[in-house]
Amino acid sequence: MRTKTLLLTAALTAAGALTSMAQVYSVNIVGYINLNVPHGFSIIANQLNNSPNNMLGTLLPTPPNATFVYKFSNASASYISDDYTDGVWEGDTAGAMTLNPGEGVFINAPSAFTATFVGEVQLVSALPIPHGFSIISSVIPQSANLDVLGYPPANGDFVYQFLNASGSYKSNDYTDGAWEGDDGGVAPTPAVGEGFFILNSSTAKSWSRTFVVGPP
């Protein structure tokens, strides 16, 4: 039986970020996110599985000219980068860079614009988090602190959220079984569509979550 699109705002408590799509039907929860990308650097995330793929050229087909996107590689501790110039993506992957739910990338926009991500919510997920640095996001498009989002903290973990306005980072760490840092002892709270740096000081682990909508 086909289920009419649900309001993601209500389902995922992401008020103002997610809205319903008229005349779209799916057996899954579908919707879209209008993400305001500011001028300059920020870390963004796509939290919906898009069709036909989650490649940069599909997700951001026409950003402002001279937009740059940088994806961090944990294995090499370096970035791959693409840029949108004269109406086409070029660079290391020429727009084939993936931005799957759970991944995050730096973007440098020459002017503010709105990125619209369309797709399905990944209700069951297991995001691998390697030892060391990586840029990640919540797989679910929900603004809540990392404890509520089910992130498995370990002593020595650091979370760095980039602040566009100041060009600096907000930092929180998990030490002796509790969060401490710039948020005053509260777990970091990423916004919908926000990616962030994580320093996993322990061995590789998985951020697993099963999101249930409605009565069991």
48 pLDDT exceeds 70?
A: yes
pLDDT of residue 15: 33
Q: How far apart are CA 43 and CA 108, in angstroms?
A: 9
Q: How far apart are CA 207 and CA 200, in angstroms?
A: 12
Q: Per-residue pLDDT tens for 76-118?
A: 999 999 999 999 999 999 999 999 999 999 999 999 999 999 9
Q: How many helices and strands, by DSSP H and E, does the chain display?
A: 2, 17
Q: Per-residue pLDDT tens for 6-41?
A: 334 333 433 333 333 334 444 578 899 999 999 999
Residues 124, 101 contacting (CB under 8 angstroms) = no
Which element (helix H / strand E) includes 59?
Answer: helix 56-59
For the entire predicted model, the pTM comes to 0.86
Which residues, in sequence order, are CB contacts of 216 under 8 Å at separation 6+?
A: none
Q: Per-residue pLDDT tens for 201-213?
A: 999 999 999 988 7
| Among candidate residues 151, 204, 209, the one with its CA nearest the CA of residue 179 | 151
pLDDT of residue 29: 86
